Amino acid sequence: MILAHLPAGYLVGRAMPAAPWVIPAAVLGGILPDFDLLAFYLWDDRAFHHHRYWVHIPGFWVLVAAITAPFISRAWKLPWLAFLTAIFVHIALDSIVGGIVWFWPFSDTMYTLIEVSARHQNWLLNFILHWTFFALELPIIMTAFYLWWRRDR
Ligand SMILES: [Zn+2]
């Protein structure tokens, strides 16, 4: 998934009961795993797949959820749930055409639903011109944009 993470986070926020900070928390959760691209490009010189950073590992977020759950106040339960749900939606969407280590810490194997073949030299074109972009990513973006556009009506 290239462009739909922020819109997908917005859709997670819209699907939850309306409450303060739910949508911002969901949007943040929708994009936060890709903050690892900073380390990927700036410090680690693309030495390994960025989906191997802890922010893209479901088992890490299960631990975070389990550890933080007892400390979340009633007022922050919904934003916390929106944030974590959007994180898992991000990771699930990444797993469609990119590898995710779903069974960490038991296995380091990356699982991908659909392999994108390298038809073009530019890796981005391989994803933008792949059918999954038009079948999954664009509908997410368009639905989120439509709901955002009509949010006060
Ligand atoms: Zn990602």
At residue 100, what are phi and psi to the nearest 5 degrees? Answer: -135, 140
User: Residues, the chain, total?
Assistant: 153
* CA 18 to centroid of ligand 1, rounded, Å: 26
* CA 19 to centroid of ligand 1, rounded, Å: 26
Instruction: Please give the pLDDT value at position 127.
Output: 85
* CA 153 to centroid of ligand 1, rounded, Å: 32
* CA 90 to centroid of ligand 1, rounded, Å: 6
* CA 41 to centroid of ligand 1, rounded, Å: 14
* CA 152 to centroid of ligand 1, rounded, Å: 30
Burial 111-142 (b: 16+ CB within 10 A, else e): eeeeebeeeeeeeeebbeebebbeebbeebbe
Q: What is the pLDDT along the chain (153 residues), one digit of tens a residue?
A: 889 999 999 999 999 999 999 999 999 999 999 999 998 889 988 888 889 999 999 999 999 999 999 999 999 999 999 999 999 999 999 999 999 999 999 999 999 999 888 888 888 888 888 889 889 999 999 999 999 999 987
* CA 34 to centroid of ligand 1, rounded, Å: 5
At residue 86, what are phi and psi to the nearest 5 degrees? Answer: -65, -35
* CA 148 to centroid of ligand 1, rounded, Å: 22
Return the domain boundaries, the chain: 5-149
36: closest CA among 98, 127, 126, 120? 98
